[in-house]
Chains A and B, each alone.
Chain A
Amino acid sequence: MTATATRAKTPAASPGTPARVRSSIARTPRTFYWMVVPAVVIFFGLHTIPVLSGMFFSLTNYAGYGTWDLVGFSNYINLFQDDRVLNSYGFTFGFAIVSTLLVNVIALAIALGLNSKIKFQAAFRGVFFIPYVLAILIIGYVFNYLFANSFPAIFTALGLPGLSSNLLASPDFAWVGIVITTVWQAAAFNVILYLAGLQTISADLYEAAAIDGASGWRRFRSITFPLIGAYFTINMVLSFKSFLQVFDQIVALTAGGPGTSTESIALVIFRGGFQGGEYGYQMANAVVYLFVIIIVSFLQLRILQRREASFS
């Protein structure tokens, strides 16, 4: 720093400008390092260290307090014999697959509708986006009341006593209630993303297709869908990944019940780790979960990108 300053000042560098330019270029990298190093250190401390320490404790019998011993891979072996854990993987994956498909299909359909020649377009768009700004936990509490009281009353009044029980109290169908609540909230964000994608498609393409006599479905299949393929891929991967981490709405709707039928992986890790004295064991669960998410994300990207390529 001082060296460059004195050099710039000396009259020896009489051409002036080139020296200054050179010194500023030489100075640049250090400033760029200063811009990233503090962030990297903090990120490493608050993100990477927890991951690494979690991986380490997954090899111990740590309860979250007191002493611990290294136990090798026994936590991992026990995981695969634990019905509660296996059940949570089954539930979480089933939930995430159904929700991802429904959210994307519904959001794409709504976006297509909003993108056509309809009245009050801006107003409708505003309405469909509302759920995005609402906390899913609180929405869960509202839907909890709807499932427990309002829907049974409506179905009874309609003369459908078969549907008049509380959906969330059924071990077999409580997950449906969680899916409905999730789709209601999550579709909003995806509508906006698909709408953004649809608006990049030139109207000329549709005009040309209409002249060629292509039907609505054919236009969607041959023009719209291939052109928003990138959006579809990203939305599928991101929504699946976020649904695999489902937590808030389950706390609000079923708290994992009836029994443990709607316990998600995140809920099992939370309960076992904080309340059950299973810190080490649940960290092993979390490590498995991390690898599952990584593998699934990459598989999804590969499969969906291949589809995309075959369309265009």
Chain B
Amino acid sequence: MTDTLTNTTAPLPADTEAAARAPRTRRRLDGGNGGTNWWLTALIAVCSLTVLIPLYFTIVTALKTPDQLGGTGFELPTSIRWENFADAYQLTNFPRALMNTALITVGAVFLTLLTNSLVAYAIARNMHKKFFKGLYFYFLAAIFVPFPIIMLPVVKETALLGIDTPVGLILLYTVYGLSFNIFIFVAYINSIPVELEEAARLDGASTWTVFWKVIFPLLSPMNATVGILTCVWAWNDFLLPLVVLSDPSAQTLPLAQFIFQGQFNTNYPVAFASYLMALAPLLIVYVIAQKWVVSGVTRGSVK
């Protein structure tokens, strides 16, 4: 896995050299040799507080009663009001919003992984043909198209086609992610030797079989990267569900926070309990799978 990775960092002139020195680089990163820089450690620790303090603030505010809100808001709660979560749960219809968001996210990740890698494979292996090369640049050009120009027409179109629903959103995430994902997948597929496929083909495997049995398993590091990026995007997206979804019962988590602002306004602890519940699922997944998530995103950038 690591060697395919370094292989794909083509733009670096010292490529092979870097690969040969990889073990030493890693040792240095662990801080194994030489002394630890304690000043820098302290500085980084202070900087990391800027990330942690707003999170701490969200948690303590979600636990307070409204009359504890005065002051800076950073004080610990004197008495904890767990009912904030129950109130927020009911007010925003949390389980429904959670289910919608989860369904849309899982659907988008699956459909994206299955289709985008397939398209990228066909393009990567036929780049010498005008048609496929043209397609590649057609998809890449879409990276520069900002969403607001699509926003108004696509709302008309999804309403017309009857896909102003969670299923429609899954389709839209799959289609709008295509440009960037093809870019990542094609670069990776180019680093996979064609000989592997030719061997399978000589044994009589069809192109479909070659893709599913040979190529798709080899793509798993990139599938992890694309899966994480798609998951975070679909889970947290606000604008697309806001304009596309027509049925109020299809609300996603961020959309529910927006729609219930009016009701929250007088009661901040309930609002913060609701924010916390909306942020928690992905945060928990991240804390559990932290190493995997970070390496997944890193890999995508080293293409």
Q: Pick the contact of B175 from A43, A133, A294 — CB < 8 Å?
A: A43
**Of residues 127 to 149 in A, which have CB atoms within 8 Å of B's CB atoms?**
127-139, 141-143, 145-146, 149
Pair A245/B294 contact, Cβ less than 8 Å: no
- A143 touching B54 in the complex, CB below 8 Å, given contacts A202-B25, A290-B149: yes
Chain B residues within an 8 Å CB radius of A189: 297
User: A36-B135, A196-B301 known; A54 and B40 CB under 8 Å?
Assistant: no
Q: Is the CB of B157 within 8 A of A138?
A: no
- Contacts of A183-233 to chain B: CB distance below 8 A: 184, 188-189, 192-193, 195-197, 199-204, 227, 230-231
Inter-subunit contact B21/A270 (CB<8 Å): no
Complex: how many Å from CA A46 to CA B163?
11
Q: Which chain A residue shows the least CB distance to B13?
A: A312
Chain B hits for A12, CB < 8 A: none
Total contacts A to B, CB within 8 angstroms?
A: 285
Which among B206, B287, B294, B298 has the greatest number of chain A C-beta atoms within 10 A? B294
A244 at interface by CB-CB < 8 Å:
yes
- Give A8 Cβ to nearest chain B Cβ, in Å: 10
Nearest Cβ distance between residue B290 and chain A, in whole angstroms? 5
Within 8 Å by CB of B57, from A32, A128, A146, A157, lies A146
> What separation, in Å, do the CA atoms of A129 and B283 have in the docked complex?
11
Contact pick for B148, options A43, A110, A265, CB 8 Å:
A265
Interface size on B, residues (CB 8 A): 109
Instruction: Give every chain A residue within 8 A of B257 (Cβ-Cβ).
Output: 137-138, 141
- Among candidates B29, B72, B287, residue contacting A121 with C-beta atoms closer than 8 Å: B29
- Min distance, Cβ A210 to any Cβ of chain B, angstroms: 11
Residues of A within 8 A of B154 (CB): 46, 50
Q: Is the CB of A131 within 8 A of B142?
A: no
CB distance from A278 to the nearest CB of B (A): 10
- Please give, as numbers and ranges, the residues of chain B lying within 8 Å of A231 by CB-CB distance: 301
Chain A: minimal CB distance from B238 (Å): 5
Q: Is A126 a contact of B294 with CB atoms below 8 Å? A: yes
Are the C-beta atoms of B145 and A290 separated by less than 8 Å? yes
* CB closest chain-B residue, reference A50: B153
The main secondary structure of chain B at its interface with chain A is helix
Contacting pair A57 B298 (CB below 8 A)? no
> What chain A residues lie within 8 Å of B30 (beta carbons)?
121
A127 to B294, CA, bound (A): 11
In whole Å, how far is B221's beta carbon from the nearest beta carbon of chain A? Answer: 14
- Residue on A nearest B175 in the bound complex, by CB: A46
Please tell me if the beta carbons of A43 and B201 are within 8 angstroms of each other in the complex.
no
Establish whether residues A137 and B238, one from each chain, have CB atoms under 8 Å apart when the complex forms.
yes
Q: Is the CB of A128 within 8 A of B148?
A: no
Complex: A145 Cα to B201 Cα, angstroms: 62
CA–CA, A31 and B243, complex, Å: 37
- Does A273 sit at the interface, judged by CB under 8 A? yes
Residue of B nearest to A244 (CB): B146
Q: Assess the B71–A200 pair: CB atoms within 8 A.
A: no
Cross-chain contact B12 with A117 (CB below 8 angstroms) = no
CB distance from B176 to the nearest CB of A (A): 7
Residue from the list B150, B235, B272, B279 in contact with A54, Cβ < 8 A? B150
Most chain B CB neighbours (cut-off 10 Å) among A47, A121, A227, A287? A47
Interface residues of B (CB under 8 A from A): 9, 11-14, 17-18, 21, 24-25, 28-31, 34-38, 40-41, 43-45, 47-48, 50-52, 54-55, 57-58, 61, 69, 71-74, 115, 118-119, 121-123, 125-126, 132, 135, 138-139, 142, 144-157, 171-172, 175-176, 178, 201-202, 204, 206-208, 211, 232, 235-236, 238-239, 243, 253-254, 257-258, 261, 268, 271-272, 275, 278-279, 282-283, 285-287, 290-291, 293-294, 297-299, 301-302
For the A-B complex with A135-B235, A201-B25 known, give 10 more contacts whose Cβ atoms are closer than 8 Å.
A27-B207, A36-B119, A122-B291, A130-B286, A133-B236, A133-B286, A143-B54, A153-B71, A196-B299, A266-B239
6 contacts between A and B (CB under 8 A): A31-B208, A113-B44, A135-B278, A145-B73, A145-B272, A200-B9
